């Protein structure tokens, strides 16, 4: 908790160097309410800090004293919670895009893995790889299913705007289509006893596909969690 708070404070500190406690408190609270990739959250806070500074400077240019200008600038922005609610849709859309890219790669990876290892003799290495990647694929597929269900069926329609929701639906179609295509191709290849692939596959390719799985599937899981949290996660009440 302390680490998370110090991380938020660091993002806020990067936002601007000369601020008063009121603006600092507003930005810290905003940073604590946002959900999504750290870099994107930090950028949003910097941008909002810029906006507060611009508004304050404009008011000061009109002869309003500094303290009053800051108070009005912050009042014009609204509460941190209101801003966070507006920005959450943007964060969720970015998280969904990452999920879509990684999710669409999953069927390709599973197919590549199955094809590659079918050429390798049934050794301990093959069994280990099979167990490991099988577990990873299962986790990835389960998380993808959970996040899509959470986004599309449950909270999605309340939190995401119509465009983002359409994107969710397209994503679920892409994932379902990809898995269906994979199953179809796998069935055909099984019927052909993998003869189309066995002469082209080598141990090297099999290992490369497994390593790619070890990287991509956890990334997919991370994207699933990120997308679900960004789109449906309730913000914390108050930054510490």
Q: What are φ and ψ of residue 216, in 5° steps?
A: -75, -40
C-alpha 77: how far from its chain's center?
Answer: 27
Query: Whole-number minimum distance, CB 68 to other proteins, in Å?
Result: 16
Q: What are φ and ψ of residue 110, in 5° steps?
A: -60, -45
Does residue number 38 form part of the binding site for other proteins (CB under 8 A)? no
Does residue number 2 form part of the binding site for other proteins (CB under 8 A)? no
Of 84, 27, 22, the C-alpha closest to 51 is: 27
Does residue number 238 form part of the binding site for other proteins (CB under 8 A)? no
Single out the residue of 7, 37, 51, 130 in contact with other proteins (rule: CB under 8 A): 51
Q: Which stretch binds other proteins (CB under 8 A): 75-83, 103-111, 135-143, 215-223?
A: 75-83
- DSSP calls for 203-238: HHHHHHHHHHHHHHHHHHHHHHHHHHHHHHPPPPS-
Measured from the CB atom, the residue of 92 and 221 that comes closer to other proteins is: 92
Q: Cβ–Cβ contacts within 10 Å for residue 164, how many?
A: 17
**Under rule CB under 8 A, which residues in 175-204 are in contact with other proteins?**
none
Check if the beta carbon of residue 226 is closer than 8 Å to that of residue 98.
yes
CA angle 230, 99, 186 (to 5 degrees): 150
Query: Whole-number minimum distance, CB 33 to other proteins, in Å?
Result: 13
**Under rule CB under 8 A, which residues in 90-109 are in contact with other proteins?**
90, 93-94
Check if the beta carbon of residue 194 is closer than 8 Å to that of residue 118.
yes
Question: Taking the CA atoms of the chain, what radius of gyration do you get in angstroms?
Answer: 24
**Max CA distance (Å), the chain:** 82
What binding mask, one character per residue, do residues 126-165 give for other proteins by CB under 8 A, x or -?
Answer: -----------------------------------x-xx-
Query: Whole-number minimum distance, CB 196 to other proteins, in Å?
Result: 39
Does residue number 55 form part of the binding site for other proteins (CB under 8 A)? yes
Query: Whole-number minimum distance, CB 181 to other proteins, in Å?
Result: 27
**Counts for the chain of helices (H) and strands (E), in that order:** 10, 0
Size of the site for other proteins (CB under 8 A): 26
Residues at the contact surface with other proteins, assessed by CB under 8 A = 43-44, 46-48, 50-52, 54-55, 58, 73, 76-78, 82-83, 86-87, 89-90, 93-94, 161, 163-164
């Amino acid at each position: 908790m302390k680490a998370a708070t110090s991380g938020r404070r660091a993002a806020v500190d990067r936002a601007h160097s000369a601020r008063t406690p009121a603006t600092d408190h507003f930005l810290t609270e905003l940073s604590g309410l946002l959900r999504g990739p750290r870099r994107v959250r930090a950028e949003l806070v910097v941008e909002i800090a810029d906006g507060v500074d611009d508004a304050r400077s404009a008011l000061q240019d009109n002869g309003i004293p500094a303290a009053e200008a800051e108070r009005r600038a912050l009042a014009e922005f609204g509460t941190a919670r209101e801003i966070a609610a507006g920005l959450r849709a943007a964060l969720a859309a970015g998280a969904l895009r990452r999920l879509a890219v990684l999710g669409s790669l999953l069927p390709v990876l599973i197919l590549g893995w199955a094809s590659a290892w079918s050429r390798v003799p049934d050794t301990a290495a093959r069994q280990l790889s099979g167990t490991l990647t099988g577990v990873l694929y299962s986790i990835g597929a389960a998380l993808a299913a959970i996040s899509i269900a959470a986004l599309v069926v449950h909270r999605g329609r309340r939190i995401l705007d119509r465009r983002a929701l359409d994107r969710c639906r397209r994503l679920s179609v892409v994932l379902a289509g990809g898995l269906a295509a994979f199953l179809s191709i796998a069935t055909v290849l099984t019927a052909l006893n993998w003869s189309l692939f066995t002469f082209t596959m080598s141990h090297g390719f099999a290992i490369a596909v497994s390593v790619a799985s070890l990287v991509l599937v956890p990334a997919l899981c991370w994207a699933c969690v990120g997308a679900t949290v960004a789109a449906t996660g309730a913000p914390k009440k108050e930054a510490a």
